[in-house]
Chains A and B, each alone.
Chain A
Amino acid sequence: MSDAGILELSARAAAAAIDAGSLSAGELFDAYRARAAEDRSAGEQGLNCFTWVAPDGQAPTGQGELAGVPLAVKDLFCTEGVPSQSGSRILEGYLPPYTATAVQKLTDAGASLLAKTNQDEFAMGSSNENSAFGPVRNPWDRERVPGGSSGGSAAAVAGALAPWALGTDTGGSIRQPAAMCGIVGLKPTYGSVSRYGMIAFASSLDQAGPLTRDVADAALMLAHMSGRDPRDATSLQIPAAIALPSAESLRGVRLGVPGELTGEGIEEGVLTSFRAALELARGLGAEITEVALPHAPHALSAYYVLAPAEASSNLARFDGVRYGMRAQGAQDLLEMYTRTRHDGFGPEVKRRIMLGTYALSSGYYDAYYGRAQRVRTKISEDFAAAFEQVDFILTPTAPTVAFRLGEKTGDPLAMYLNDYCTVPMSLAGIPAISIPSGLSDGLPVGLQIAGPAFSENGLLDTAHALELAIGFDGGAPRV
């Protein structure tokens, strides 16, 4: 098979071709490895998707349903003996002595580790401009961001530098970059994928998930990585096995549109694409009604209390003692801690540690953290009430298309508003998927579909039917 032909294959089709003997695992791996290595060596001239690429001459040996399919993995997943730095200087050169469960499960199913992907430092960001290893560029327009924090994963899949990639989503970090790069991104129900070996950002929100070319690939990856893990006490067995989606109709499916997330603050081109997707859904037989999520406008505020609070605690472990870098020349232990953290963390991580520490500090705890936890309850209650009336909820994934590099770096609050439509689902722990709904001014727009906890099979079917009807041809300009 020609290299160009190989790059057109979905992960599913590639696995089938290997199984049928029309493609060898080595051929497939080499085609992607060469592209990934080229991007890595191109530095600023490339997309800067990767922080590590598998060495040449490493033949894939995996056995199983995913045998030979290359997998790109977000830097924050620990991979034994392979740099895992979470986009941070403070972990520069860290080689974990173990592998994250999600990665292990996928490689146990036959997938081969192709590369580690660039990301915002500790997954804190919406543009991938907060990486210690430089920004990632959007394959649709090199002067624009790919979204974040799984920006390297999204750009790699969109640019055909990987057939699919593993990412994580805390407040939108799979869905928003998927939207901005014109691919599919799924955040599963909280707890359905083990967090063991994921370098933590906000533990009550962090969730691993797939970034893929199409909906069926997202289902395939999720099917192989979900499930209870004794090493993560919050992980759960999904009630029903994940099936590959097949729905082509939405007859009898009730879809809800919340006014709070589909009006003010969403740019016109995004709304136009969203309305067109609603028309297609109606054409497929879906019943569309308005639903209310009255507390959704407060989700962002609650999120930017809870996530930094958890982060300030999780990131306390980076102190220059057990792993990563240490500032030299400190006179005593305290100075070693404070200087290591000064030198090792980037500006956004410092901001969030400060914000979280402030919100948890004496005198402010009840006003911020305590209240935010109560807002979280109200948001879950809003979703529960909405899901009594409808099966799934539709919104745009992000308020805008991909913006220019540097456009929002000077204004943290403006950057945070990127998460406006994705954060409510994160706080409620429910699954949500972003699929491309079309282009606005030549840039991809994402459609978000959210469902109740553990509704992944129905969610994937709904996304699949809409994906067929939308007919997005998926092609980012290829390097």
Chain B
Amino acid sequence: MRGTVIDREEVLHVARLARLELSDEEIEPMARELSAVIEHIARIGELDLADVPPTSHVVEVTGALRSDEPQPSLPREVVLAQAPAVSDEGFLVPSPQA
């Protein structure tokens, strides 16, 4: 296998951060594929970017905030209608600590 930038251990660490379960057979291909992509994107390390400001938004926007006026929101039952499980007018989820 060619240069592994990211190994099995690190894949599992990142998956935990991403709240993503990976099955055993997903882990090795993920390490291999991510390593290939990361090797490619690491080429931006070659550029001299010392005095370059970062861009987070491309088009100048001023006065983007809308006026602070209350607007009606969607009715609760309409929103809850799409949830996998509801209870007492709220989203039902398993206990954080079973």
Given A298-B43, A353-B18, A368-B41, residue A377 in contact with residue B53 (CB < 8 A): yes
Query: Would you list which residues of chain A between 226 and 242 have a CB under 8 Å from chain B?
Result: 230, 233-234, 236
Least distance between B58 CB and chain A CB atoms (Å): 3
Chain B 64-84, CB-CB to A under 8 Å as 1, else 0, gives: 111000000010001101111
Q: Is B23 an interface residue (CB 8 A)?
A: yes
Q: What is the bound-complex CA distance between A330 and B94, given in angstroms?
A: 8
| Nearest A residue (CB) for B5 | A358
Kindly list chain B residues whose C-beta atoms are within 8 Å of the C-beta of A427. Answer: 58
Kindly list chain A residues whose C-beta atoms are within 8 Å of the C-beta of B55. Answer: 373-374, 376-377, 380
Q: Is B1 an interface residue (CB 8 A)?
A: no
Least distance between A365 CB and chain B CB atoms (Å): 11
Q: Is A326 an interface residue (CB 8 A)?
A: yes
Q: What is the bound-complex CA distance between A353 and B22, given in angstroms?
A: 12
> Are A190 and B54 in contact, CB atoms less than 8 angstroms apart?
no
Q: Is A139 an interface residue (CB 8 A)?
A: no
> Are A378 and B49 in contact, CB atoms less than 8 angstroms apart?
yes
Kindly list chain B residues whose C-beta atoms are within 8 Å of the C-beta of A371. Answer: 44-45, 47, 49
How many residues from A make CB contacts under 8 Å with B? 71
> Are A374 and B17 in contact, CB atoms less than 8 angstroms apart?
no
> Are A354 and B74 in contact, CB atoms less than 8 angstroms apart?
no
Looking at chain A's contact residues, the main secondary structure is helix
Q: Is B89 an interface residue (CB 8 A)?
A: no
**Contact pick for B17, options A300, A325, A361, CB 8 Å:** A361
Query: Would you list which residues of chain A between 289 and 347 have a CB under 8 Å from chain B?
Result: 295, 298, 300-302, 304-305, 312, 316, 319-326, 330-339, 341-342, 345, 347
Least distance between B60 CB and chain A CB atoms (Å): 9
> Are A301 and B41 in contact, CB atoms less than 8 angstroms apart?
yes
**Contact pick for B36, options A335, A357, A413, A428, CB 8 Å:** A413
Least distance between A455 CB and chain B CB atoms (Å): 13
> Are B19 and A233 in contact, CB atoms less than 8 angstroms apart?
no
Chain A 26-57, CB-CB to B under 8 Å as 1, else 0, gives: 00000000000000000000000000000000
Q: What is the bound-complex CA distance between A367 and B38, given in angstroms?
A: 11
Looking at chain B's contact residues, the main secondary structure is loop
Q: Is B97 an interface residue (CB 8 A)?
A: yes
> Are A354 and B34 in contact, CB atoms less than 8 angstroms apart?
yes
> Are A375 and B84 in contact, CB atoms less than 8 angstroms apart?
no
Kindly list chain A residues whose C-beta atoms are within 8 Å of the C-beta of B34. Answer: 351, 354-355, 358
Least distance between A292 CB and chain B CB atoms (Å): 15
> Are A341 and B21 in contact, CB atoms less than 8 angstroms apart?
yes
Q: What is the bound-complex CA distance between A377 and B55, given in angstroms?
A: 5
> Are A358 and B6 in contact, CB atoms less than 8 angstroms apart?
yes
| Nearest B residue (CB) for A412 | B33
Given A304-B40, A321-B91, A412-B37, residue A350 in contact with residue B20 (CB < 8 A): yes
Q: What is the bound-complex CA distance between A161 and B55, given in angstroms?
A: 40
Least distance between A266 CB and chain B CB atoms (Å): 18
**Contact pick for A304, options B10, B22, B41, B79, CB 8 Å:** B41
Q: Is A416 an interface residue (CB 8 A)?
A: yes
> Are A191 and B61 in contact, CB atoms less than 8 angstroms apart?
yes
| Nearest B residue (CB) for A297 | B43
> Are B91 and A322 in contact, CB atoms less than 8 angstroms apart?
yes
> Are B19 and A321 in contact, CB atoms less than 8 angstroms apart?
no
Kindly list chain B residues whose C-beta atoms are within 8 Å of the C-beta of A429. Answer: 58-59
> Are B91 and A412 in contact, CB atoms less than 8 angstroms apart?
no
Q: Is A440 an interface residue (CB 8 A)?
A: no
Q: What is the bound-complex CA distance between A345 and B20, given in angstroms?
A: 9
**Contact pick for A377, options B20, B54, B65, CB 8 Å:** B54
Q: What is the bound-complex CA distance between A361 and B26, given in angstroms?
A: 21
- Contact surface of B with A, Cβ cutoff 8 Å: 6, 10-11, 14-15, 17-23, 26, 30, 33-34, 36-38, 40-45, 47, 49, 52-59, 61, 64-66, 74, 78-79, 81-85, 91, 93-98
Supply 14 further A-B pairs (C-beta < 8 A) apart from A333-B95, A374-B54: A97-B74, A190-B59, A191-B59, A234-B57, A316-B19, A332-B97, A338-B20, A350-B26, A350-B30, A354-B14, A361-B14, A368-B44, A374-B47, A377-B53
13 chain-A/chain-B pairs, Cβ below 8 angstroms:
A97-B79, A234-B59, A325-B84, A332-B96, A333-B95, A334-B19, A342-B21, A350-B22, A367-B45, A370-B54, A374-B49, A374-B54, A377-B53
- Contact surface of A with B, Cβ cutoff 8 Å: 94-98, 189-191, 204, 230, 233-234, 236, 295, 298, 300-302, 304-305, 312, 316, 319-326, 330-339, 341-342, 345, 347, 350-351, 353-355, 357-358, 361, 367-368, 370-378, 380, 412-413, 416, 427-429, 453
> What 5 A-B pairs come out closest when comparing CB atoms?
A429-B58, A373-B54, A326-B84, A342-B21, A338-B21
